[in-house]
Amino acid sequence: MSTKIGFDRERYIQMQSDHINARRQQIGGKLYLEMGGKLFDDMHASRVLPGFTPDNKIAMLDRLKDDLEILICLSAKDLERQKVRADLGIPYEDDVLRLIDVFRERGFLVDNVVMTQLEENNQQAYAFISRLERLGLKVARHYPIPGYPTNSAKIVSDEGFGRNDFVDTSRDVILVTAPGPGSGKLATCLSQVYHEFQRGRSAGYAKFETFPIWDLPLEHPVNLAYEAATADLDDINVIDPYHLAAYNEQATSYNRDVEVFPLLKTMLEHLAGESPYRSPTDMGVNMVGRAIADDDVCRDAAIQEIVRRYYKALVEERVNDADDVVSGRIAVIMSKAGCSPEDRAVVRPALDVAAATEQPAAAMQLHDGCIVTGKTSPLLGCSAAMLLNALKHLAGIDDESLLLSPASIEPIQTLKTRHLGSRNPRLHTDEVLIALSVSAATSDEARRALAELQNLVGCDVHTTTILGSVDEDIFRNLGVLVTSEPVYWRKALYHKR
C-alpha cells in the first residue's frame, strides 16, 4: 500500500482561486458558480488524488470568502427516497444542517436553501421546509418543469423558471452546492440567472466541477473512478462534442453536462444577447488536472477506488435484494481500466483465511505494506481480531502477546448474551476498543496499542462477510477503507445490520 503523494495541494489552491477570480472578471456581473461534487469532506477526491485533502476546496474558497455566499440545494425527491450520504451514513436532510454549520463556523455566509423538484404531495419535503424556516433559514421553492432540459422555450419563460422563487443574494459570487448529485444545482443556477436578468441585472454561470477532469483522457483511471462513483445515476464520461467542433481539441466531459449545454447556451443568448461559452468544457473552472504531481500514483489510487466501488455495489445489491445493474456497470468500467477485484491486495489474504478456518475472516494492509489478518474465534469477531493484530504490529508488540485476556472478555460476553439480548457472544470492534481502553489504565502494551489508532487512517480492509452497522461505523470513524464480500455470515431471510 503506497503512501506517496500524487497531488500538489498548495498549487491547486492558488491556481483554482486565481481562475475563479478571472472568470468572475470575465462575467462582469453576479457569478453563479455550480459546485459539482462535495464542497466539504470530499472523500472521493482524497482517495483518487493522494495529497488532495477533504477540505481542499473549502480552503481554496477561504481566499474568496468576503465576496462569496453559499446557497444549498436539496431535491424533494431525495427526501422521498430517504437518500443517505454513504460516506457519512446520514440522510441528506441532516447533511444540509451539518453543511450549514460547517460553513458558518468557517465564516461563510449561508442564509438560503433551495428545495428543488417540489410537488404538492411531498409531505416530507414540506415538513423539512417548515423545520428549516423555524431554524431561521430562508427556503426557496423550485418546481419540476415539463420538458426540462430540452424545451428551452418553455423553460426560459414565466411558466418555467418564472414559477420558481427567486433567492435574493447579497454577494457577487454565489456558490451553489448540495449534499449529493442530482440535487438540481444547475437548474437553480440557471433559474437565478433568469430572475436576475428579469430584474435588469447582469449575471452569469460557471461550473466548479472536480470530476471528470476535463484535461485528462476519457479513460484515464481517475476519470473512470468518477464514472464508477456515479454508476447508480447511469452517468457516463464522454468526449465533449461541442468543444471538439469549436476547437478541434478533445476534452473529457460527462453526459448530463453535454445534454444540458444547448439549454444553457440558448438561455444566455436569449437573456444577454450572446453566450460566452462554446462548449460545456468552457463552462468549467476546474484546475485539478494541472495540480497532479505524479500521474502514476493517482492512476494506482484510482484503480483501487474502482474496485472498492465494485464491492460496495455488490453489497448494496445483496442487502437490498436488488438486481446486479450497478455492479454490472462498474464491472464494465473495471474492464476499461484493466483491473479486477484481485488487484485489491487485501482480498486474497482474507479469502484464504476464511477458506482455511471455514469462518468469516478479515485482512488489513498497513502503510508499510504489511498485511495482517483476523479470524473468527469464540471470543472475537474477525474484524475485532484483525484490529488488535494490526495495533500489535504497529506498536511492535509480540504477536503471541494477549492485549486482552480471556478473563477481561468473558464478563462483556456475559453482559451481551444474558442481559442485552445478543445471540453473538463475540466482541465487535467497538467493544474491543473499549476493553483495550480500560486495560490501558494498567497495561503499557495496551497504551502503546491504542496510540497506534491514528496510523490506521487510509488503510485498506477486506472482510469475507457483510459488516454489521457497528463495525462499519467504527471503521468509518477510524478512516479505514473497507470492502466486503456480498455474503451474510448466517443464512437467513432477515439480517440486522
pLDDT digits (tens, 9 = 90+) for 226-247: 999 999 888 899 999 999 999 9
pLDDT digits (tens, 9 = 90+) for 303-345: 999 999 999 999 999 999 999 999 999 999 999 999 999 999 9
Q: Count other C-beta atoms under 10 Å from residue 1's C-beta.
A: 18
Predicted confidence at residue 2, as pLDDT, reads: 54
Answer with the residue of higher pLDDT: 464 or 152. 464
* 29 plus 121 within the same structural domain: yes
pLDDT digits (tens, 9 = 90+) for 69-86: 999 999 999 999 888 887
* 265 plus 365 within the same structural domain: no
DSSP state at residue 165 = P
Q: Measured between alpha carbons, how far is 88 from 208 in angstroms, rounded to an integer?
A: 23
Q: Measured between alpha carbons, how far is 175 from 270 in angstroms, rounded to an integer?
A: 23
* 153 plus 63 within the same structural domain: yes
Residue 492 lies in a domain: no
Q: Over 60: is that where the pLDDT of 495 sits?
A: no
Torsion of CA 177, 178, 180, 184, to 10 degrees: -90
pLDDT digits (tens, 9 = 90+) for 377-390: 988 899 999 999 99
* 266 plus 404 within the same structural domain: no
* 57 plus 206 within the same structural domain: yes
pLDDT digits (tens, 9 = 90+) for 404-457: 877 777 787 777 777 777 777 788 898 899 889 988 888 999 999 999 999 999
Domain coverage including residue 437: 345-484
Give 472's pLDDT tier (boundaries 50, 70, 90): very high
Span 148-164, mean pLDDT?
Answer: 90
Residue 419 lies in a domain: yes
Predicted confidence at residue 1, as pLDDT, reads: 52
Residue 454 lies in a domain: yes
Residue 217 lies in a domain: no
- Cα→Cα distances 111→69, 169, 189, 348, Å: 8, 9, 16, 50
Nearest Cα residue to 485 out of 302, 269, 313: 313
How many percent of the chain have pLDDT more than 90? Answer: 71
Residue 333 lies in a domain: no
Q: Measured between alpha carbons, how far is 162 from 155 in angstroms, rounded to an integer?
A: 8
Q: Across all residues in the chain, what is the average pLDDT?
A: 91
Residue 240 lies in a domain: no
Residue 330 lies in a domain: no
Q: Measured between alpha carbons, how far is 113 from 163 in angstroms, rounded to an integer?
A: 17
* 54 plus 182 within the same structural domain: yes
Residues in the chain: 497
Number of domains in the chain: 2
What CATH number does the domain containing 444 carry?
Answer: 3.40.140.40
List the grid coordinates of 482.
473497507
What CATH number does the domain containing 67 carry?
Answer: 3.10.630.10
Model pTM score:
0.85
* 267 plus 388 within the same structural domain: no
* 281 plus 351 within the same structural domain: no
Q: Count other C-beta atoms under 10 Å from residue 408's C-beta.
A: 14
* 163 plus 21 within the same structural domain: yes
Q: Measured between alpha carbons, how far is 307 from 326 in angstroms, rounded to an integer?
A: 13
Q: Look at residues 287, 302, 326 and tell me which one is the last residue of a structural domain.
A: 287
How many percent of the chain have pLDDT more than 70? Answer: 97
Judged by DSSP in three states, 132 sits in helix
Predicted confidence at residue 493, as pLDDT, reads: 43
Residue 325 lies in a domain: no
Q: Measured between alpha carbons, how far is 472 from 479 in angstroms, rounded to an integer?
A: 11
Amino acid letter, residue 370: C
Q: Over 50: is that where the pLDDT of 494 sits?
A: no
pLDDT digits (tens, 9 = 90+) for 105-122: 999 999 999 999 999 999
